[in-house]
A = this chain, B = another copy of it.
Amino acid sequence: MKHTLSVLLQNKPGVLSRVTGLFSGRGFNIKSLCVAETLDPSLSCLTLVTNGNDAIVEQITKQLHKLIDVIKVTDISEGEFVEREMALIRVKAENTTRAEVLRVIDIFRGKVVDVSSKSYSVEVTGSANKIQAIIDILRPIGIKEIVRTGTIAMARMPKK
């Protein structure tokens, strides 16, 4: 099952390496990982997506809690949550394909962030599924390069 973990940790050298080490020590692959500063520059927030057996993910969560520089671990996928990802995609855009590329970008509410005579670079955001959908559509036209952030997630708030 896919798990999205949100981990609040001290922004210090070595912490990230200990966190990722916990996963690799179990031969457990990390599907995507993002880590960046929070409002408090001494703390970082790490979002990690892994496909794994529930029991092992629970075990890793417990071991994450034990790391001294880890402040909080939440398995966001246990409740309702918003997940988003961003990708930069450089796609072939020559005379004959440019109009079609722009139509696709428009449908997915992407933004062109760089243009050359042979390609467009596009920024697109959405769920992992949406990113996959635009990739699948642009691929036959010719994707030259792609960089994805990986997923970040936030728990949904009760509506009342």
A residues with CB within 8 A of B: 6, 11-17, 20-21, 23-24, 26-39, 45, 47, 82, 84-88, 90, 113-119, 121, 123, 125, 135, 139, 143, 145-150, 152-154, 156-160
> Which chain B residues border A45 with CB–CB below 8 Å?
146-148
Q: Is the CB of B146 within 8 A of A149?
A: no
CA distance A27 to B17 in the complex (A): 11
Q: Is the CB of A39 within 8 A of B146?
A: yes
CA distance A34 to B87 in the complex (A): 11
Instruction: State the oligomeric state as a number of copies.
Output: 2
Q: Is the CB of A113 within 8 A of B84?
A: yes
A sample of 17 more A-B contacts (CB under 8 A), given A13-B30, A119-B157, is: A15-B24, A16-B24, A17-B20, A33-B35, A34-B149, A36-B150, A37-B148, A38-B146, A47-B149, A82-B121, A84-B123, A86-B86, A121-B157, A123-B125, A147-B154, A148-B152, A149-B152
CA distance A76 to B146 in the complex (A): 14
Q: Is the CB of A86 within 8 A of B152?
A: yes
Contact of A159 among B28, B30, B116, B150 (CB under 8 A): B116
Q: Is the CB of A47 within 8 A of B147?
A: yes
Q: Is the CB of B154 within 8 A of A90?
A: yes
Q: Is the CB of A149 within 8 A of B36?
A: yes
> Which chain B residues border A88 with CB–CB below 8 Å?
82, 84, 152-154
Q: Is the CB of B34 within 8 A of A150?
A: yes
CA distance A83 to B108 in the complex (A): 20
CA distance A30 to B113 in the complex (A): 26
